[in-house]
Structure 1
Amino acid sequence: MYIVTGGAGFIGSAMVWKLNQMGITDILVVDNLSTSEKWNNLVGLRYEDYLHRDQFLKYIVEGDDVFETDAIIHMGACSATTELDADFLMENNYRYTQYVCKHCLTNDARFINASSAATYGDGEYGFDDDHEGIDRLRPLNMYGYSKQLFDLWAKDGNILDKIVSLKFFNVYGPNEYHKNDMRSVICKAHKQITETGKLKLFKSYHPDYAHGASKRDFVYIKDVVNIMAWLLENKDVNGIFNVGTSTPRSWNALADAVFSAMGKETNIEYIEMPESIRDKYQYYTEANMSKLAAAGCDVEMTSLEDGAKDYVQNYLAQDNPYLRSR
Structure 2
Amino acid sequence: MIVVTGAAGFIASCLVSRLNAANFNDIVVVDNFAVEKKLPNIRGKKLREYVDREAFFDWLDAHHEQVEFIFHLGARTDTTEQDPAIFDLLNLNYSKQMWQACVRYQLPLVYASSGATYGDGRLGYSDQDDALPYQLRPLNPYGDSKNDFDQWALAQPEKPYFWAGLKFFNVYGPNEYHKGRMASVILHAFRQIKENGSMQLFRSHNPEYVDGGQMRDFVYVKDVVEVCYFLLNHRTHSGLYNLGTGQARTFMDLALNTFAAMGQPADIRFRDTPEDIRDTYQYFTEADMHKLRSIGYDRPFASLEEGIRDYVQGYLVEGTYY
**Alignment TM class, shorter chain as reference:** over 0.9
Say which of 86, 94, 113 aligns to 1:115.
113
Deviation at 1:160, TM superposition (A): 8.3
3-state SS of the aligned residue for 2:66?
coil
C-alpha spacing 1:161/1:49, structure 2 compared with 1 (3 Å): closer
C-alpha spacing 1:31/1:202, structure 2 compared with 1 (3 Å): same
- 1:256 is matched with 256
Alignment partners' CA distance in 2, 1:70 and 1:221: 24
Do 1:154 and 1:160's aligned partners in 2 also have CA atoms closer than 8 Å?
A: no
Do 1:164 and 1:239's aligned partners in 2 also have CA atoms closer than 8 Å?
A: yes
3-state SS of the aligned residue for 1:43?
coil
Alignment partners' CA distance in 2, 1:67 and 1:76: 22
- Map Cα deviations across residues 193-232 of structure 1 (whole Å, 9 max, x no partner): 0000111001001111000001000000000000000000
- 1:8 is matched with 8
- 2:19 is matched with 19
RMSD of equivalent CA atoms: 1.3
- 1:273 is matched with 273
Which segments of 5 or more consecutive residues in structure 1 lack a partner in the other structure?
none
- 1:143 is matched with 142
Alignment partners' CA distance in 2, 1:277 and 1:256: 24
Do 1:29 and 1:47's aligned partners in 2 also have CA atoms closer than 8 Å?
A: yes
- 1:183 is matched with 183
Alignment partners' CA distance in 1, 2:213 and 2:205: 11
Alignment partners' CA distance in 1, 2:230 and 2:166: 13
Do 1:160 and 1:238's aligned partners in 2 also have CA atoms closer than 8 Å?
A: no
Do 1:160 and 1:240's aligned partners in 2 also have CA atoms closer than 8 Å?
A: no
Deviation at 1:106, TM superposition (A): 1.6
Matched residue count: 320
Say which of 97, 100, 120 aligns to 2:98.
100
- Map Cα deviations across residues 266-325 of structure 1 (whole Å, 9 max, x no partner): 11101011112111000000000000001111121000001000000010001x4101xx
Which segments of 5 or more consecutive residues in structure 2 lack a partner in the other structure?
none
Alignment partners' CA distance in 2, 1:224 and 1:306: 15
- Does residue 195 in structure 1 map to residue 198 in structure 2? no
- 2:204 is matched with 204
Q: Please show how residues 20-35 of structure 1 align to structure 2 within 5 Å.
A: 20-35=20-35
Percent identical residues? 43
Deviation at 1:33, TM superposition (A): 2.0
Do 1:12 and 1:75's aligned partners in 2 also have CA atoms closer than 8 Å?
A: yes
Compare 269-278 and 304-313 and name the one that shifted more.
Answer: 269-278
Alignment partners' CA distance in 1, 2:231 and 2:105: 18
- Map Cα deviations across residues 219-270 of structure 1 (whole Å, 9 max, x no partner): 0000000000000000112110000001100000000110000111211101
Alignment partners' CA distance in 1, 2:137 and 2:89: 20
- 1:53 is matched with 53
Do 2:5 and 2:12's aligned partners in 1 also have CA atoms closer than 8 Å?
A: yes
* Runs of 4+ in structure 1 over 2 Å off: 57-60, 63-68, 158-162
3-state SS of the aligned residue for 2:51?
strand
3-state SS of the aligned residue for 1:194?
helix
Do 1:247 and 1:286's aligned partners in 2 also have CA atoms closer than 8 Å?
A: yes
Alignment partners' CA distance in 1, 2:91 and 2:176: 19
- 1:78 is matched with 76
- TM-score, with length taken from structure 1: 0.95
Deviation at 1:44, TM superposition (A): 1.8
3-state SS of the aligned residue for 1:229?
helix
- 1:322 is matched with 321
3-state SS of the aligned residue for 2:166?
strand
| 2:152 maps to amino acid | W
Alignment partners' CA distance in 1, 2:189 and 2:153: 38
